[in-house]
Amino acid sequence: MEIDRRVFFASLGGAAAVSAMDSDAKADALEAYLSDQLDDAVSAPPKGTGSPQKQFPTVAELDAQITTKNYRRGVGNLFAGGRNVKKLEPMPANATLQDFFRLRFAPANHVLQSATRAMKTGMTEEIILACLLHDVVQELIKPDHGWWGAQLFEPYIPAKSTFAIRYHQALRFYADPANGYEYPEMYYGIFGKDYVPPPHIEATYKMVRNHKWYLEPRLVTVNDLYAFDPKAKVSIDPFIDIIGRHFKQPKEGLGNDNSPVAHMWRTIARPDSPL
Protein backbone atom coordinates (compact mmCIF):
# COMPACT_ATOMS: atom_id res chain seq x y z
CA MET A 1 0.00 0.00 0.00
CA GLU A 2 1.40 3.41 -0.97
CA ILE A 3 1.71 6.10 1.63
CA ASP A 4 1.42 9.80 0.90
CA ARG A 5 3.85 11.21 3.46
CA ARG A 6 2.26 14.68 3.34
CA VAL A 7 -1.24 13.33 3.95
CA PHE A 8 -0.01 11.02 6.71
CA PHE A 9 1.74 13.89 8.52
CA ALA A 10 -1.31 16.11 8.07
CA SER A 11 -3.48 13.41 9.65
CA LEU A 12 -1.27 13.62 12.74
CA GLY A 13 -1.37 17.40 12.98
CA GLY A 14 1.59 18.33 10.79
CA ALA A 15 5.35 18.00 10.87
CA ALA A 16 5.69 19.91 14.14
CA ALA A 17 3.23 17.62 15.89
CA VAL A 18 4.98 14.55 14.46
CA SER A 19 8.38 15.74 15.67
CA ALA A 20 6.97 16.08 19.18
CA MET A 21 5.81 12.44 19.25
CA ASP A 22 8.10 9.81 20.67
CA SER A 23 9.31 7.06 18.38
CA ASP A 24 6.88 4.44 19.62
CA ALA A 25 3.94 6.79 19.20
CA LYS A 26 5.03 7.52 15.64
CA ALA A 27 5.20 3.85 14.77
CA ASP A 28 1.80 3.22 16.37
CA ALA A 29 0.37 6.13 14.39
CA LEU A 30 1.76 4.71 11.16
CA GLU A 31 0.29 1.30 11.83
CA ALA A 32 -3.10 2.83 12.69
CA TYR A 33 -2.96 5.01 9.57
CA LEU A 34 -2.23 2.03 7.34
CA SER A 35 -4.96 0.01 8.97
CA ASP A 36 -7.50 2.84 8.50
CA GLN A 37 -6.45 3.28 4.87
CA LEU A 38 -6.91 -0.42 4.32
CA ASP A 39 -10.37 -0.41 5.89
CA ASP A 40 -11.33 2.59 3.75
CA ALA A 41 -10.05 0.89 0.60
CA VAL A 42 -11.97 -2.28 1.34
CA SER A 43 -15.23 -0.56 2.22
CA ALA A 44 -15.07 2.06 -0.59
CA PRO A 45 -17.67 1.68 -3.33
CA PRO A 46 -16.38 0.77 -6.81
CA LYS A 47 -14.90 3.57 -8.88
CA GLY A 48 -17.47 5.59 -10.82
CA THR A 49 -20.25 5.24 -8.26
CA GLY A 50 -19.86 8.79 -7.05
CA SER A 51 -17.85 8.23 -3.88
CA PRO A 52 -16.42 11.61 -2.81
CA GLN A 53 -12.66 11.79 -2.35
CA LYS A 54 -11.65 11.92 1.28
CA GLN A 55 -10.87 15.51 2.22
CA PHE A 56 -7.85 16.12 4.40
CA PRO A 57 -7.47 19.24 6.53
CA THR A 58 -4.42 21.49 6.35
CA VAL A 59 -1.78 21.43 9.08
CA ALA A 60 -3.00 24.80 10.35
CA GLU A 61 -6.59 23.55 10.51
CA LEU A 62 -5.55 20.46 12.46
CA ASP A 63 -3.38 22.50 14.84
CA ALA A 64 -6.36 24.76 15.50
CA GLN A 65 -8.53 21.72 16.27
CA ILE A 66 -6.38 20.20 18.99
CA THR A 67 -7.98 22.04 21.89
CA THR A 68 -11.47 21.88 20.38
CA LYS A 69 -11.66 18.09 20.58
CA ASN A 70 -12.60 16.11 23.62
CA TYR A 71 -10.55 13.11 22.56
CA ARG A 72 -6.91 12.43 21.79
CA ARG A 73 -5.28 10.54 18.97
CA GLY A 74 -4.65 7.47 21.10
CA VAL A 75 -8.38 6.93 21.56
CA GLY A 76 -9.74 3.65 20.22
CA ASN A 77 -11.40 3.46 16.81
CA LEU A 78 -14.78 2.69 18.37
CA PHE A 79 -14.79 6.03 20.17
CA ALA A 80 -13.38 8.57 17.73
CA GLY A 81 -11.17 8.86 14.70
CA GLY A 82 -11.86 11.86 12.51
CA ARG A 83 -15.18 10.65 11.16
CA ASN A 84 -18.66 10.23 12.59
CA VAL A 85 -19.07 7.15 14.72
CA LYS A 86 -21.51 4.49 13.55
CA LYS A 87 -24.65 3.33 15.26
CA LEU A 88 -23.70 0.00 16.78
CA GLU A 89 -25.86 -3.09 16.94
CA PRO A 90 -26.25 -4.35 20.49
CA MET A 91 -24.17 -7.40 21.32
CA PRO A 92 -26.08 -10.68 21.72
CA ALA A 93 -26.37 -12.34 25.11
CA ASN A 94 -23.43 -14.66 25.83
CA ALA A 95 -21.33 -12.86 23.23
CA THR A 96 -18.49 -14.84 21.70
CA LEU A 97 -15.22 -13.72 20.17
CA GLN A 98 -16.78 -14.14 16.72
CA ASP A 99 -19.65 -11.84 17.78
CA PHE A 100 -17.09 -9.20 18.75
CA PHE A 101 -15.31 -9.60 15.41
CA ARG A 102 -18.61 -9.20 13.55
CA LEU A 103 -20.10 -6.35 15.56
CA ARG A 104 -17.20 -4.40 17.10
CA PHE A 105 -13.87 -5.22 15.40
CA ALA A 106 -15.15 -5.31 11.79
CA PRO A 107 -13.89 -5.08 9.15
CA ALA A 108 -10.64 -6.12 10.91
CA ASN A 109 -8.90 -6.55 7.56
CA HIS A 110 -5.44 -6.04 8.94
CA VAL A 111 -5.58 -8.80 11.55
CA LEU A 112 -7.44 -11.17 9.22
CA GLN A 113 -4.77 -10.66 6.57
CA SER A 114 -2.03 -11.21 9.15
CA ALA A 115 -3.62 -14.44 10.36
CA THR A 116 -4.20 -15.61 6.78
CA ARG A 117 -0.52 -15.11 6.03
CA ALA A 118 0.45 -16.91 9.23
CA MET A 119 -1.70 -19.87 8.23
CA LYS A 120 -0.25 -19.95 4.70
CA THR A 121 3.30 -19.85 6.03
CA GLY A 122 2.74 -22.77 8.39
CA MET A 123 2.81 -21.03 11.74
CA THR A 124 1.70 -22.83 14.89
CA GLU A 125 -1.91 -22.41 15.94
CA GLU A 126 -0.79 -20.25 18.90
CA ILE A 127 0.91 -17.82 16.50
CA ILE A 128 -1.98 -17.82 14.02
CA LEU A 129 -4.32 -16.98 16.91
CA ALA A 130 -1.95 -14.23 18.08
CA CYS A 131 -1.87 -12.75 14.56
CA LEU A 132 -5.67 -12.83 14.45
CA LEU A 133 -5.93 -10.92 17.73
CA HIS A 134 -2.76 -8.81 17.81
CA ASP A 135 -4.20 -5.37 17.01
CA VAL A 136 -7.95 -5.58 17.70
CA VAL A 137 -7.58 -3.81 21.06
CA GLN A 138 -7.00 -0.67 19.00
CA GLU A 139 -10.78 -0.46 18.85
CA LEU A 140 -10.52 0.33 22.57
CA ILE A 141 -7.18 2.16 22.90
CA LYS A 142 -4.03 2.59 20.84
CA PRO A 143 -1.03 3.55 23.02
CA ASP A 144 0.76 0.47 24.36
CA HIS A 145 -1.55 -1.71 22.27
CA GLY A 146 0.67 -4.77 22.69
CA TRP A 147 0.28 -4.67 26.45
CA TRP A 148 -3.41 -3.75 26.38
CA GLY A 149 -4.15 -6.43 23.81
CA ALA A 150 -2.35 -9.12 25.76
CA GLN A 151 -4.27 -8.16 28.89
CA LEU A 152 -7.62 -8.29 27.08
CA PHE A 153 -7.03 -11.86 25.90
CA GLU A 154 -4.86 -13.34 28.65
CA PRO A 155 -7.63 -15.22 30.54
CA TYR A 156 -8.86 -16.93 27.38
CA ILE A 157 -5.90 -17.90 25.19
CA PRO A 158 -2.65 -19.92 25.43
CA ALA A 159 0.21 -18.24 27.30
CA LYS A 160 2.35 -18.26 24.16
CA SER A 161 -0.29 -16.34 22.23
CA THR A 162 -0.54 -13.77 25.02
CA PHE A 163 3.26 -13.40 25.04
CA ALA A 164 3.26 -12.92 21.26
CA ILE A 165 0.59 -10.21 21.37
CA ARG A 166 2.23 -8.35 24.27
CA TYR A 167 5.68 -8.14 22.70
CA HIS A 168 5.05 -7.79 18.97
CA GLN A 169 4.79 -4.04 19.61
CA ALA A 170 8.43 -3.80 20.75
CA LEU A 171 9.97 -6.35 18.36
CA ARG A 172 8.79 -4.64 15.16
CA PHE A 173 11.60 -2.07 15.58
CA TYR A 174 14.40 -4.64 15.55
CA ALA A 175 15.49 -6.51 12.45
CA ASP A 176 16.01 -10.25 12.57
CA PRO A 177 16.88 -11.37 9.02
CA ALA A 178 17.64 -14.92 10.17
CA ASN A 179 13.97 -15.28 11.07
CA GLY A 180 12.66 -13.40 8.06
CA TYR A 181 12.14 -9.96 9.54
CA GLU A 182 13.83 -6.90 8.05
CA TYR A 183 13.47 -3.50 9.63
CA PRO A 184 10.58 -2.04 7.63
CA GLU A 185 11.83 0.28 4.93
CA MET A 186 8.75 2.44 5.26
CA TYR A 187 9.93 3.45 8.75
CA TYR A 188 13.09 4.93 7.22
CA GLY A 189 11.19 6.83 4.60
CA ILE A 190 8.64 8.31 6.96
CA PHE A 191 10.45 8.66 10.30
CA GLY A 192 14.06 9.11 9.19
CA LYS A 193 17.08 6.87 9.39
CA ASP A 194 18.09 8.01 12.88
CA TYR A 195 15.00 6.55 14.52
CA VAL A 196 15.72 5.22 18.02
CA PRO A 197 13.00 3.45 20.02
CA PRO A 198 12.46 4.80 23.55
CA PRO A 199 14.29 3.12 26.47
CA HIS A 200 11.37 1.01 27.70
CA ILE A 201 10.96 -0.52 24.24
CA GLU A 202 14.70 -1.19 23.98
CA ALA A 203 14.69 -2.85 27.42
CA THR A 204 11.65 -4.93 26.50
CA TYR A 205 13.31 -6.02 23.27
CA LYS A 206 16.46 -7.12 25.11
CA MET A 207 14.42 -9.14 27.59
CA VAL A 208 12.34 -10.81 24.89
CA ARG A 209 15.35 -11.45 22.63
CA ASN A 210 16.79 -13.71 25.33
CA HIS A 211 13.50 -15.35 26.25
CA LYS A 212 12.81 -18.96 25.31
CA TRP A 213 9.57 -17.79 23.65
CA TYR A 214 11.24 -15.09 21.55
CA LEU A 215 9.96 -16.57 18.28
CA GLU A 216 6.31 -16.23 19.27
CA PRO A 217 6.14 -12.39 19.02
CA ARG A 218 8.85 -12.37 16.34
CA LEU A 219 6.69 -14.44 14.02
CA VAL A 220 3.76 -12.10 14.64
CA THR A 221 5.92 -9.25 13.33
CA VAL A 222 7.01 -11.37 10.37
CA ASN A 223 3.37 -11.92 9.42
CA ASP A 224 2.29 -8.42 10.40
CA LEU A 225 4.12 -5.86 8.34
CA TYR A 226 3.35 -7.17 4.89
CA ALA A 227 -0.30 -7.71 5.60
CA PHE A 228 -1.71 -4.52 4.13
CA ASP A 229 -3.26 -5.49 0.82
CA PRO A 230 -6.47 -3.61 -0.05
CA LYS A 231 -7.41 -6.23 -2.67
CA ALA A 232 -7.16 -9.25 -0.40
CA LYS A 233 -10.41 -11.04 0.35
CA VAL A 234 -10.35 -12.30 3.91
CA SER A 235 -12.77 -13.88 6.34
CA ILE A 236 -12.76 -15.20 9.86
CA ASP A 237 -14.10 -18.56 8.64
CA PRO A 238 -10.69 -20.28 8.21
CA PHE A 239 -9.93 -19.52 11.87
CA ILE A 240 -13.09 -20.81 13.50
CA ASP A 241 -11.54 -24.19 14.31
CA ILE A 242 -8.42 -22.60 15.83
CA ILE A 243 -10.60 -20.29 17.91
CA GLY A 244 -12.62 -23.34 19.00
CA ARG A 245 -9.51 -25.21 20.08
CA HIS A 246 -7.63 -22.36 21.77
CA PHE A 247 -10.03 -19.61 22.86
CA LYS A 248 -11.75 -20.39 26.16
CA GLN A 249 -15.11 -18.86 25.42
CA PRO A 250 -16.84 -18.18 28.78
CA LYS A 251 -20.34 -19.66 28.87
CA GLU A 252 -21.74 -16.42 30.33
CA GLY A 253 -20.37 -14.47 27.38
CA LEU A 254 -17.35 -12.16 27.18
CA GLY A 255 -17.94 -9.33 29.60
CA ASN A 256 -20.25 -11.32 31.88
CA ASP A 257 -17.76 -13.83 33.24
CA ASN A 258 -16.29 -11.84 36.15
CA SER A 259 -12.79 -12.32 34.77
CA PRO A 260 -10.21 -9.63 35.64
CA VAL A 261 -10.77 -8.14 32.17
CA ALA A 262 -14.55 -8.55 31.85
CA HIS A 263 -14.95 -4.77 32.17
CA MET A 264 -12.76 -4.26 29.09
CA TRP A 265 -15.11 -6.43 27.01
CA ARG A 266 -18.14 -4.60 28.42
CA THR A 267 -16.60 -1.28 27.42
CA ILE A 268 -16.02 -2.56 23.89
CA ALA A 269 -19.58 -3.92 23.83
CA ARG A 270 -21.14 -0.65 25.00
CA PRO A 271 -18.90 2.26 23.98
CA ASP A 272 -21.88 4.62 23.97
CA SER A 273 -22.41 4.13 27.68
CA PRO A 274 -22.17 7.57 29.35
CA LEU A 275 -20.62 6.30 32.58
Interface positions with Fe ion (CB under 5 A) = 135, 224
CB nearer to Fe ion: give 77 or 95.
Answer: 77
Q: Which of these, 196, 147, 138, lies nearest to 167 by C-alpha position?
A: 147
* Residue with smaller CB distance to Fe ion, 135 or 139: 135
Least distance (Å) between residue 264 CB and Fe ion: 17
Closer residue to Fe ion in complex, CB, 125/135:
135
> Rounded to an integer, what distance in angstroms lies between the CA atom of residue 211 and that of residue 235?
33
Q: How far is the CB of 224 from Fe ion (least distance, A)?
A: 4
Nearest to 99 by CA among 83, 88, 109, 113: 88
Report whether 113 contacts 232 (CB < 8 A): yes
Give the separation between CA 126 and CA 267, rounded to whole angstroms.
26
Closer residue to Fe ion (CB): 156 or 173: 173
For residue 90, which phi and psi values (nearest 5 degrees)? -65, 150
Where do the DSSP E strands lie in 57-140?
Answer: none
User: For Fe ion, which is the closer residue by CB, 99 or 224?
Assistant: 224
| Residue 61: strand, helix, or coil | helix
In angstroms, what is the minimal distance from the CB of 266 to Fe ion?
A: 23
Smallest distance from Fe ion to CB 244, Å: 24
| Residue number with CB closer to Fe ion (62 or 112) | 112
What is the distance between the alpha carbons of residues 256 and 186, in angstroms, rounded to a whole number?
Answer: 42
What is the closest distance, in whole angstroms, from the C-beta atom of residue 3 to Fe ion in the complex? 15
How far is residue 24's CA from residue 147's CA, in Å, rounded to a whole number?
13
Provide the 3-class DSSP secondary structure of residue 243: helix
Q: Under 8 Å CB-to-CB from 112, ≥6 apart: which residues? A: 132, 234, 235, 236
Q: Tell me the closest approach of the beta carbon of residue 175 to Fe ion, in angstroms.
A: 17
